[in-house]
């Protein structure tokens, strides 16, 4: 089974778009899929409760039909840092509370599954824990989404360094061009390919109207370690 934790070099770098495209690609290859979005800040109130667009996007590419609350157990209304949104809602975030909810998704034994973080690698859950602690508890290999724009090289190298320092494997990374006017795009990507030890799983061009099927065209799934 291929189960991965998906992180980004920052917020708004296309984690959900890439994660959903990887799920789409897995389905095209005949694999069963599942997804988890443990914490989501920036949710809309609906007739059935708070709902997050990212979580629903991942669910749309999952072959395993799971209740929304299983996929996204903590849904927070304000689009702000999760630990601050949780404090405002009177919710205590912790690895201990999130871990069994994610494990419930992974226990379905989908051939390919993603657990999507929120923002970057060190996004806080509380005063003492971050989402990186959850990734460590899950012991999943990591896929890093790099938003290609000014400053992305340092952000990517620092994130990769932190992932490896935390004892996890960087299974691959995706170059997602989010600023088409950024200078030296090809040179930046080439630099990252030389400096990152993990394989590049694809280069996604700037797409005015991205969707999972379109992005999947530019991606490949990580190779399974033997």
Distance of CA 9 to the CA centre of its chain: 10
Q: How far apart are CA 114 and CA 135, in angstroms?
A: 11
- The b-or-e profile of 94-126 (16+ CB within 10 A means b, else e) is ebeebeebbeebbebebbbbbbbbbbbbebbbe
Q: How many residues does the chain have?
A: 226
Question: Out of 15, 28, 37, 193, which one is annotated catalytic?
Answer: 37
Name the one residue in this structure whose structure tokens are 């980004």: 8
DSSP three-state, residue 105:
helix
User: What is the per-residue DSSP string for 191-202?
Assistant: HHHHH-SSPEEE
Beta carbons of 139 and 27 less than 8 angstroms apart: no
Q: Known catalytic residue: 15?
A: no
Active-site positions? Answer: 37
């Amino acid at each position: 089974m291929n189960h991965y934790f998906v992180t980004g070099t920052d917020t708004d770098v296309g984690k959900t778009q890439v994660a959903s495209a990887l799920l789409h690609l897995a389905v095209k290859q005949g694999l069963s899929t599942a997804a988890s979005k443990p914490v989501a800040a920036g949710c809309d109130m609906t007739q059935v409760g708070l709902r997050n667009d990212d979580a629903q996007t991942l669910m749309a590419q999952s072959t395993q039909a799971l209740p929304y609350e299983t996929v996204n157990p903590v849904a927070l209304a304000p689009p702000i840092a999760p630990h601050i949104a949780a404090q405002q809602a009177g919710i205590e975030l912790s690895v201990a509370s999130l871990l069994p909810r994610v494990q419930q998704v992974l226990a379905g034994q989908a051939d390919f599954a993603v657990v999507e973080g929120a923002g970057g690698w060190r996004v806080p859950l509380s005063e003492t824990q971050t989402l990186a602690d959850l990734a460590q508890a899950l012991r999943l290999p990591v896929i890093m989404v790099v938003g290609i724009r000014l400053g992305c090289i340092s952000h990517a190298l620092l994130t990769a360094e932190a992932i490896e320092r935390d004892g996890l494997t960087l299974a691959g990374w995706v170059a997602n061009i989010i600023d088409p006017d950024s200078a030296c795009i090809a040179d930046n990507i080439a630099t990252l390919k030389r400096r990152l030890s993990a394989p590049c799983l694809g280069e996604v061009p700037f797409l005015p109207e991205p969707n999972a099927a379109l992005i999947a065209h530019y991606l490949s799934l990580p190779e399974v370690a033997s």
